[in-house]
Structure 1
Amino acid sequence: MSGPVQNLVISLGAMQLARRIPFDDPAVLTYVRIGYVAVQVVVLLTYYFVSLQIKKTNDLTVLKYVEPAAPMSGADPKLVTTTVKDYDLAQASSGLKGVYTGVAMMAFMHFYMKFTQPLFIQSLMGLKGLYDSKIVQVVLLGKKEERPFKVASMFGAATGPQTDAAAIAEAEKRVGKKDD
């Protein structure tokens, strides 16, 4: 089962489970809040640890790939030349930004709009997202994954940057023409 489908199944299951939790009980609500905060702290600390491990490893292998243009933008694909260390740090930073965005949205939904069920659901999804993170899998779990990471779509096909020599050579030609 692909990642997005698993997320959907977990979300739907968590919603059904959350219906049975008495959120109107202040003690239960306090425990759910503590659980949510604890999960977010674990996720943040994990990404921080991953960043430290990436810096410690200091892999300066050159990484070249062609990043596809945004759909319907009319722009050309962009050639990216970086190192494995910088790429991995960017992936960890992206994960951190996702956590910060989720916490901000959850704070708005919980404190301003008074929604309580999403706290429980996002606690589970935070752990699932951490486990699904490619950079966490590579650095902490030792999974061998080729960089740049491919992204699985809803239907199982992996999409992402092109790493073949022909695509890189064509992008380098485009860059050379723009400089002239």
Structure 2
Amino acid sequence: MVSKRNRTHLDKDSAMPLRRVLQGLDPVTIAAVFCPAQHIGEKQVGDEECFVLKLDTDPSTLSNRSDSTAEIIRHVMVGYFSQRSGLLIHLEDSQLTRIQYPGAEVMYWETTISSSIEDYRPVDGVMVAHSGRSIVNLVRFGYGLQVSTRMEELWSIDDVVFNVPGLSSECFLPPEDIQRQQ
């Protein structure tokens, strides 16, 4: 998939991470990711009645993603899906990490991302989100310290093309980057 979108100063790399897939750009992957999720109820999000699915990362996966200085304690995703269309319209992703370097005090980082996914349009028979908004809250705490940072990202897509030769399925590139590579 190729996307032309608005770039921010936070986005210097041309390849986009898997997070873009979960923001609604690939409904097939979203369905696969949320397949083992637990239904936790219904909720009104904006004008949409939604069913809510919660996905807790199991302890063995958290352990495999941790290393000697960083232990991921919790990672939870909650997806709000339209009861009318079945499409993801809101995503909350939260991760708590314990960090301790030799000789240093223990610190904790909590990252929470709240994303609204909007403007779904059909592209080659697949409904693809064409805009959204994500709010990221980073909180660092421990040893009598608490520091918070808040960032916001607005994104939009002007053009989408599927099955671009040489592009991995986890990423997408703005069209101008594809032209330079060819």
What TM-score, normalized by structure 2, do the two folds share?
0.22
Which structure has more relative contact order (CA 8 Å, sep 6+)? It is 1
Which of structures 1 and 2 has the bigger CA Rg? 1
User: Which has a greater percent of strand?
Assistant: 2
User: Which has a greater percent of helix?
Assistant: 1
